[in-house]
Structure 1
């Protein structure tokens, strides 16, 4: 498949995805970038530009997750997620400055658990309304 076709497919996937699916896709991208950063940090010959870019992309995704929170509808859950995302960003800043793998692993673990929770919520919505466009309330 050509790169243009692949990009077109990705754009269509994003444009037609439910809110819940978009959240899961954001988590998937963050996890992918953290895995890349960990891999590069573990390599004998470290590519510091690749590490920095992967951590920065992860932080961009976390910022998008923060922006998606609806504090009016989500209340305490949205606030707790916001606080977690702030913590994740601080950990990633520290990891990037110190080139320390442990904060990335910690954030990766938590984001993996949150991703699974969002995927379960999305699947519940899809299964309860198989014909409808499943919209997950991203309030938290």
Structure 2
């Protein structure tokens, strides 16, 4: 992509100026986007693109998992959820299993919605 592309500049700026909370929300949204794409490619029988998009979703889950602060009690529960989501993504990729993909997406969507609500509540408290 060209460096002068306005969309590329906008995306780079939005990431570089985002708060940590907003970055986490972007990661959840990206993960959901890649799972949606993987499902579309399953329907199209494009196994290469299924694999690529599920791996991108897994990369995001792994990043979220690795950045947990394990000194905080809830992180143990989040780690278990991330591990479960990752295992469902592995199942979805190996078996081209839409149910496993939907299971993973449901959990990530609920986590994203909860995170979004927490951001709103935190901003109201400021």
Shared fold by TM > 0.5? yes
Q: RMSD in angstroms over aligned alpha carbons?
A: 1.4
Q: Which structure 2 segments of 5+ residues have no match? A: none
Number of equivalences: 124
What are the residue-to-residue correspondences of 1:101-140 with 2, within 5 Å? Answer: 101-129=98-126
Deviation per CA, 1:22-50: give whole Å up to 9, x if none.
1110000000000011111123xx11111
Q: Which digits, 9 at most, give the CA deviation of each residue in 1:51-102, with x for residues without a partner?
A: 0000000000001111221111x22x10110111011111111111111111
Off by >4 Å, runs of 4+ in structure 1? none
Structure-2 separation of matches of 1:11 and 1:39: 27
TM-score, scaled relative to structure 1:
0.83
Q: Equivalences for 1:1-140 in 2 at 5 Å?
A: 4-43=5-44, 46-72=45-71, 74-75=72-73, 77-129=74-126
Ranges in structure 1 where 5+ consecutive residues have no aligned partner: 130-140
- How does the TM-score come out when normalised to structure 2? 0.92
